Amino acid sequence: MEKIDALTKTLLCETAAVIHVIDKGAATVAMVDVEKGATDTAKLETAFMKTNSITDGWWNNEGITKMFNGATCRSTNVGDMILLANGKKFKCENFGWSEV
């Protein structure tokens, strides 16, 4: 069953990198599974949602590969960026996203 799950994930998902902007630098904090056939906006919203803590730390969410050191990491917010598998990078704005 694990092989079937891995194959299904490969066929239906791709990875988006979540980059937190910190002071004058940036760091990739997570790789997030997003639906391969979704629009860019849907992929961005999925990655944003999965990297926000609601009832538990976001790094415990399904489809997340933790890329940060330490026990915790803040949620994704305005000013942070997401790099999609198609090479497009977007910045989180107060309302929506802008391509970088």
Write out pLDDT tens, residues 17-66. 999 998 889 999 999 999 999 999 999 999 999 999 999 999 999 999 99
What's the domain range around 40? 2-99
Confidence of residue 78 (pLDDT cuts 50, 70, 90): very high
Q: Where are the alpha helices (DSSP H) in 15-95?
A: 40-50
Total domains in the fold of the chain? 1
